[in-house]
Amino acid sequence: MVPPTASNYYHVLVGEEEIRTRIESLADEILAMPHRPDMAAVVLAGAFVFAADLLRALARKGLSLPCEFLWLSSYGAGRSGAEAVTVRAGAGAAVKGRHVLVMDDICDSGRTLAKACALLRAAGAQAVATAVAVERGRSDAVMTADFAAFRGLEGFLVGYGLDDAGGARSLPFIARVD
């Protein structure tokens, strides 16, 4: 149920149950990869909610992945992405020789996802695949995700890890700010 205080400000696009169901099927899609990942790289801060759910779904299906964390930023406190992606913490030596699954909250321009993949390859990852909670599907994106829980959602999105200047990440649904 949507909290009453959110209903006047947010337009819910994807509810809790739909998210839960989709994450389970996304785990099945990832498990069908020819070369299963043997490590996850979670892009902070936005991907922590999505990653936690997806990692647990994969573990329930028999694939428990160790995690590396990347801290990248392209939005800052604004509502539009910057041209440059800031690296606050990059990949460590643990990714060397691994098949890494990058997990991020959103693929909008694709710049953050491309930066994460480049960092992992530079650190020696053998292969890199990507999974996001939301992919916009922009025609001008520099990169698209290999896997996306939801595609083509429009507007400024919050909830399920997506934020508005650091707020609204903990909402249990994905919503558009009205």
Active site positions, annotated: 108
* C-alpha pair distances (Å), 113 with each of 66, 116, 147, 172: 20, 5, 12, 23
Q: Helix 16-31 and helix 48-60: axis angle, to 10°? A: 60
Coil vs helix vs strand at 178: coil
Could you give the CA distance from residue 61 to residue 52 in angstroms, rounded to a whole number?
14
Could you give the CA distance from residue 89 to residue 167 in angstroms, rounded to a whole number?
21
Relative to beta strand 86-89, strand 67-73 is antiparallel
